[in-house]
Amino acid sequence: METKKLNNGVLIPCIGFGTYKTTVDDGYTVILNAIKAGYRHLDTAAIYNNEEEVGRAVRESAVPREEFFITSKLNRNRLGYESTKAEFEESLRKLGMDYMDLYLIHWPRSDYGRDDYDSWEDLDRETWRAMEELLKEGKVRAIGVSNFLPHHLDNLLKNANVVPALNQLELHPGYLQEEAVEYCREKGIALEAWSPIGRARIMKYPLLVEMAAKYGVSVAHLCLIFGLQNDFIILPKSTHVESMEENLVSGDITISDEDMDLIRSMPEAGWSGEHPDRETVK
């Protein structure tokens, strides 16, 4: 599988398996099926409540641990120096692993006030200090963020010794967050797309329907190809083996430069409604 080199030299597979909401019924089986389909990059988070299932599937897959790239994320309500350390160890315990490949701050702001920190800015910086220590201790191979916009990253980098390796953002046709993308590229921060296919209404968008027919693929597959050609790491998710397998071959077709520009010029569509500044701390 094609990989991308992060800013610290660590290689990450360009296609990962997103586990959010894919493990509601029988998470272990879904993840094991994804591994059997060929996925080695698995994305989870504390808030997903499936780290134990991810770890079990990895252990019982008979695939060596070193062949996997495992990402988890810090719960937004566990931001802070001490709580970050504790939450990381809990996630590691649930995964049943002695290291992670990538650990991310899930959101830049908590959804409730904190008496021990004066502001979200202080909270984020202290969280990052703990993340840097986890990296230095060899407990994680790379550290990064999720849903961070330029002003969140500016705050983090004021005191940072380590530039985030990756920023996981909602990125798909109709929602490209161009300012954040350009900022990350200037700083050498890799971009990872959660929800790379967008929401259901994207599937019926006339331009995408027309393009998909032109290239002989589904609209979903077209969106994944588009993400890869934009140099995004993508995290498709599915509970169906056929879709899992199809998503892994998303790089087999090339969209022309002209068609890429047409897709990039789409008006906003398919946005989840999630915004990192909606939640505030005092």
CA torsion 36-195-71-89 (nearest 10°) is -120
Q: Are 244 and 238 in contact (CB under 8 A)?
A: yes
| pLDDT score, position 281 | 39
**How large is the greatest C-alpha to C-alpha distance in the chain, in angstroms?**
57
Q: Provide the 10 A C-beta neighbour count for residue 124.
A: 27
Strand partners, 170: 194
Which sequence spans correspond to the domains of the chain?
3-197+231-252
| pLDDT score, position 115 | 61
Torsion sign (Cα): 100, 28, 248, 271? negative
For the stretch 174-225, pLDDT in tens is: 999 999 999 999 999 999 999 999 988 899 999 999 999 999 999 999 999 9
| pLDDT score, position 21 | 86
Torsion sign (Cα): 115, 117, 123, 127? negative
Task: Tell me which CATH code domain 3-197+231-252 carries.
Answer: 3.20.20.100
The residues annotated as belonging to the active site are: 48
In the chain, which residues have pLDDT < 50? 280-282
Which of 131-141 are b and which e, b meaning 16 or more Cβ less than 10 Å from the residue's Cβ?
A: beebbeeebbb
For the stretch 222-252, pLDDT in tens is: 999 999 999 999 999 999 999 999 999 766 7
